Amino acid sequence: MKVIATITAATLLAFTTAGLASAAAAEPRTPEVDKPRLQAAAKNVRLKASLPGTERAISIAFAQYGPRDVAFVSMETGLKTFDVTDLDQPKLLDHLTKEEMALPGDDPTKRFWENEDINVDPKRKLAFLAREVNSFGRALPGDRPTGNYIVSAVDPSDLKILSFHRQNTGHTSTCINDCSYLWTAGLDRSDAKTGRIFVTDIRDPKTPKELPVSVDIRGKAGEGKITHDVQVDAQGVAWVAGDDGTRGYYTQGWHRDPLSGKYREAKAWDPVPYAGGTVPKADMPTSFTHNSFRPIGRTLDDGPRPTRENPPGSLLLHTEEAFGSPTCKTEGRFVISSLQGTHNGEGWGETPKEMRTVGIWSPDDQEGTIPGNVTCSAHYFDVQKRIVAYSWYNQGTRFLDISNPAKPIQIGYWRPDTATSWAPYWHRNTVFVADISRGVEILQLEKGAYDAQASGTPVTLTAHYAKELARESDREPVPLAPNPFYGWACPMVASRDDSDCGVGACGAPC
């Protein structure tokens, strides 16, 4: 569907006092009770614009087309492109719909899922969409394809599917070696059932080729451990997060292989281990890392200030996604680890070495945090100029100064009502937030956030939540349910009217 529309800049709604709605009765015979609302709150952050029609947004990527700046928004309804050259007036360019993505046997009225971390080839202008097992209402005992769509975005106003590459996983896909290869992570649905990365040769995007290799194998056959996401740092090291921590690999050049002691050439299908390991149970009880980032090279100034104790390139920032603690008191936290002592293969083996924990942060007992039992866990984050933008589901988007890695501090937050924050992205000094309830919102830090960073003063805890500045809307929170395969590590939206998402559903085996 080719739709062109101009989106005017979002007029900032007035911040008003917010609290939980009280119960109300309409008539004695037919009492009606208002559904409780999540309190809304914000500090040192303002809304610059919204992208309408992006409800159920999951992930975002960007690409330059000469002077034109384009955002790719992956959603349950497919893929949308926006011209965001003028952040005050974004323009919808195209929508690759579910109907266009549906394979034979799919029900296009059901959701596309999940493509949690969309990647775009900035040179060839290709977008990669990972397809999960429960897309389009697929359920047992029928066939449930997983894999990757490869989409041509040479003209971002005319998206075209070049191919669908079926493989035995389809949770996240990451470009490796200048997008010549894809590393796809997720639960291994082959008979092997090991945690591993699948490697695909995409030099010809119309005929992708699966390579007969496995990378970053975790656990024994049949254990069902998983890899979750891959992020490549500024030196080209690919960091694989999942069960048993995070491990980095060289994928190009000649390096010493710490497992063999020999120098050899690293390749996308035969990488050389670099460093990494797991996190102490006291700091990450589940031993499951969701995604990671190592500040190095051109991104060094985005991370903590290097010190003698923590020299350049020695720190790894990563997320534990877990929901055992509804307030994030004990699980689902942001962790900063030291890679020192893990460069000789210590993170590989049946019992990976624990990295030294440098710092931890969670929204528990922080200003702007909703007390009580709400969906709370660390999810995706992005870093710029020592400020981490962080999604915490119902606890919204938090902004942390990590100049001192041992003491991250909150300098601002955006937690509008009904927030289900999935992933934030720094882009041109703004932050695009993919909120699966509210859609894409473009945020800008106010002066108070930078003042707090400069002085090292955190936003202080306020007990009077009802007095916080807040923004209301007419939306309702989007309910989440544990994924039948990943559990709460990757929850699914459980809409009240979705017949395919209930107990034993969501594509789960009965």
Distance (Å, whole) CA 356 – CA 342: 10
* Residue 39 within a domain: no
Q: How many residues does the chain have?
A: 510
Take residue 496 and report the two structure tokens written for it. 């009240």
- 417 neighbors 467 (Cβ within 8 angstroms): no
Q: Any idea which residue has 């809307």 for tokens? A: 473
Contact 210, 165 (CB under 8 A): yes
Task: Decide if 385 contacts 302 (C-beta within 8 A).
Answer: yes
Does residue 198 fall inside a structural domain?
Answer: yes
Domain-located, residue 71: yes
- CATH code, domain with 176: 2.130.10.10
Residue 40 within any structural domain of the chain: no
Q: What is the pLDDT of residues 52-105, one digit of tens each?
A: 899 999 999 999 999 999 999 999 999 999 999 999 999 999 999 999 999 999
- 3-class DSSP assignment, residue 203: coil
- Give the C-alpha separation, 148 to 252, whole Å: 24
Whether 103 maps to a domain, the answer reads yes
DSSP3 helix / strand / coil % (the chain, rounded to 5): 5, 40, 55
Residues with Cβ within 8 Å of residue 463, at least 6 apart in sequence: none
Q: What six digits make up the tokens of 19?
A: 């609290």
pTM of this structure: 0.88
d(CA 14, CA 470): 8
Name, in order, each residue with C-beta under 8 angstroms of 328's C-beta and a sequence gap of 6 or more.
362, 363, 364, 376, 377, 378, 392, 395
Count up the domains in the chain and report the number.
1
Tokens of 130: 């990972």
Residue 113 belongs to domain spanning: 59-219
What are the 10-residue block averages of pLDDT along the chain, 510 residues in total? 37 30 30 49 94 95 98 98 96 97 96 96 98 93 95 98 97 97 95 94 98 94 93 98 97 98 98 98 94 98 98 97 86 96 94 96 90 86 98 95 98 92 97 96 97 95 45 56 73 57 38
Residue 479's CB is within 10 A of a number of other CB atoms, namely 16
Q: Take residue 201 and report the two structure tokens written for it.
A: 């040769």
Tokens of 261: 């002691």
Tell me whether residue 14 is in a domain: no
CB burial readout 126-156, b (16+ within 10 A) else e: bbbbbbbbbbbbbbeeeebbbbbbbbbbeeb
The pLDDT value given to residue 140? 86
Q: Which of 105, 102, 80 is nearest to 93 (CA)?
A: 80
H helix count then E strand count, the chain: 2, 36
Token digits for 342? Answer: 């893990």
- 400 membership: H or E segment, kind and range: strand 397-401
Three-class DSSP category at 96: strand
For residues 382 and 369, the answer to whether their CB atoms sit within 8 Å is no
Task: Yes or no: say if 338 and 317 are a contact pair by the CB < 8 Å rule.
Answer: no
Q: Is residue 166 part of a domain?
A: yes
Report pLDDT for 482: 77
Torsion sign, CA atoms 52, 56, 60, 65: negative
CA separation for the pair 160, 318 (Å, rounded): 34
Give the DSSP letter of residue 114.
B
Nearest by Cα to 53 from 13, 93, 12: 93
Predicted local distance difference test score (pLDDT) of residue 2: 37
Residue keyed to tokens 């890695």: 405
The answer to whether residue 133 sits within a structural domain is yes
